[in-house]
A and B are shown apart, each in its own frame.
Chain A
Amino acid sequence: MTNMTLAHPQAGPAQRPRSFWDKLRALPAGLLGAIGTLVFLLIWELIPRSGLVPARYLPPASAVLAEFFTLLGTATLWQAIGETLLGWAIGLAIASVAAIILGMLIGSSGFLRRFTASTIEFLRPIPSVALIPLAVLVFGVKLESKLLLVVYASFWPVLVQVLYGVADVDPVAANTARSYGLTSYIARLRHVVWPTTLPYLVTGLRLSASVALVLAVTAELLIGMPGLGHEIARAQSGGAYSGMYALVLTTGLLGVLINAGFRFIQKRWLSWHSSIRSEADR
């Protein structure tokens, strides 16, 4: 941060006593993150203990964490996580494959792009939860209902990103490929369009992965098929409030893991791409 170094350019430790803030500033990022987390947990612990919020409705952090670790040892939690992840994975896979194929098809033709633009722009902002009543009526409390919501919600980010990616193909690269005799559609797709689209596609997949988790859990919460969302609803109606908080924490951690996983994939698949390479150089 330039503004801090500029404010006292040569303020060495010998010239004046270092304040608490200065000491904090010198710590490594990971340690600071841990301190921040501890402060957050401490505040969470103190709010119910001080009586600011009834401890029955907001159990202190220690109680929730204890409950969380007890739950980790039970089969119920892992079963719920498995159910949620199953819907998430199948839905995300169907949506991505459909979106990639359609995106490549529509994106490679100017006519198709213009022909479908208005319809895509209309369908995309429709909130997927609007489909909940439809899913319940048609499929009932089954995996298919969950899949309908997950697929609808996670289809659009991938499709839009693939369309952007295909449109972004460098005309010079396309012409070079043609001059070098890369004439077949498949070969051009493989060697010209695919590498340009990949960074966009991975971004779309990452967005879709978190959206898919949200919709999977929401479907379980509102419709009631088994999974983390359903467990949360059960804990709430049963008055097991620290269990409910522990389940919300579990879902959040699952989300963090999914995010981290897709960031890792992004680094692996795009290690050749300038956006990742320049990050490593810095």
Chain B
Amino acid sequence: MSLIKRTAYFVALPLILVFLWWALTLNSDSFWVPRPAQMVSTFTEVWIGPRFANDVVPSLLRLLVGLATATVLGIGLGFVIGSSRTLRRLTEPVLELFRAIPPPILVPILMLLVGVNDSMKVLVIVSGCIWPILLNTIEGVRSMDEVLGDTARVYGIQGLSRTIMLTLPAASPYFVTGIRQALSIGLILMVISEMFASSSGLGFTIVAFQRSFAVPEMWSGIILLGLIGVLLAAIFAVAEKRILRWYYGLKEVEHSE
């Protein structure tokens, strides 16, 4: 498909939707639905300026710290648990339970245990993001190619070099999937932890707008959250393609056989 055609497909529906929005609100003074032009000006007014540095950046930093911590912990624990059948069986019921607990209800517990501060918010993110990464890593280590494992042993590859050269790449398609799932959970928990008990941050600001019935400002916050979600997903998709290039290449070869 030519580039023009692809671009046309990409922008057609969004443009139609924006046009509909513009046309339908042209003659209305609805309290709930602002006009597109009004929306754009509110968005720049509200979010571009000091609020970006005061509310958006700290929120995103907490999200990144939480995600990084969950990734390191999840992969590390996943390697330990995944490489031993006994440990897997010992931990399975407890992990199943923890995975099934909706992460937002851990916020009240962590508020009790840690208090209301930055580390509570980061811990909320970690406590929700770790499960998909951990369980996927366990699955990845478990389902490693047996021939590869035996070959590595025969060649005397053991300990750290075995982990780095064999287990890590073998499990990477799995834990990358886990991290992708954790990304959206982390964003949700970032917002929730700030809606609960906070005086700054994206979640707090949006709820504050809602409580003061500042509807266009509230919409602009929702749009900003959507943009952040889309942007994070896009960045991760690019990173994933680079990191797992060998894996997708391998699958292509297997499929074409």
Contact flags B159-192 to A (C-beta < 8 A → 1, else 0): 0000000000000000000000000100110011
How many A residues touch the partner, as a band?
35 or more
A59 to chain B, nearest CB (A): 11
13 interchain pairs (CB within 8 A)? A4-B84, A24-B86, A40-B94, A117-B9, A119-B14, A125-B229, A126-B225, A127-B187, A134-B219, A134-B222, A210-B100, A252-B98, A255-B101
A87 to chain B, nearest CB (A): 13
| Chain A residues within CB distance 8 Å of chain B | 1-4, 6, 21, 24-25, 29, 32-37, 39-40, 53, 57-58, 114-119, 121-134, 136-138, 210, 213-214, 217-218, 221-222, 228-229, 232-233, 236, 241, 244-245, 247-248, 251-256, 258-259
| Chain B residues within CB distance 8 Å of chain A | 9-14, 17, 32, 83-86, 89-94, 96-109, 111-113, 146, 149-150, 153, 184, 187-188, 191-192, 195-196, 203, 206-207, 209-210, 213, 215, 218-219, 221-222, 225-226, 229-230, 232-233
Is there contact, CB below 8 Å, between A133 and B86? no
Is there contact, CB below 8 Å, between A133 and B209? yes
Set A116, A217, A248: member contacting B109, Cβ < 8 A? A248
Determine the chain B residues whose CB is within 8 A of the CB of A118 once the complex forms.
9-11, 13-14
Is there contact, CB below 8 Å, between B192 and A222? yes
Set B17, B84, B90, B230: member contacting A1, Cβ < 8 A? B84
Is there contact, CB below 8 Å, between A129 and B109? no
Please, how many angstroms separate the alpha-carbon atoms of A131 and B221 in the complex? 10
Is there contact, CB below 8 Å, between B93 and A36? yes
Please, how many angstroms separate the alpha-carbon atoms of A117 and B192 in the complex? 29
- B150 nearest CB neighbor, chain A only: A2
- A220 nearest CB neighbor, chain B only: B105
Determine the chain B residues whose CB is within 8 A of the CB of A132 once the complex forms.
195, 207
Set B12, B14, B192: member contacting A129, Cβ < 8 A? B192
